[in-house]
A = this chain, B = another copy of it.
Amino acid sequence: MNHSPQTKPDYERELRRAGVRITRPRRVILDILAATEDHPDAMEIFQRASSIDKSISLSTVYRTMKLLEGMGAIHRHAFEGGPARFEQASGDHHDHLIDLDTGDVIEFHSNRIEELQDEIARELGYEIVHHRLELYGRRRKAGNRK
Which residues of A are interface residues toward B (Cβ below 8 A)?
78, 80, 97, 99-100, 106, 108, 110, 112-113, 116-117, 120-122, 124-140, 144
Q: In the complex, A100→B117 CA distance in Å?
A: 16
Q: In the complex, A99→B121 CA distance in Å?
A: 11
Selected from B97, B129, B139, the residue in CB contact (under 8 A) with A136 is B129
Interface CB pairs A-B, < 8 A, 28: A78-B80, A80-B132, A97-B120, A97-B124, A99-B126, A106-B126, A112-B112, A113-B113, A113-B116, A113-B117, A113-B120, A117-B133, A117-B135, A120-B135, A126-B135, A128-B135, A128-B136, A128-B137, A129-B138, A130-B136, A131-B134, A131-B135, A131-B136, A132-B132, A132-B134, A132-B136, A133-B133, A133-B134
Q: Which residues of B contact A133 (CB under 8 A)?
A: 117, 131-134
Q: In the complex, A128→B95 CA distance in Å?
A: 14
Residue in A78, A117, A126, A140 whose Cβ sees the most chain B Cβ within 10 Å: A126
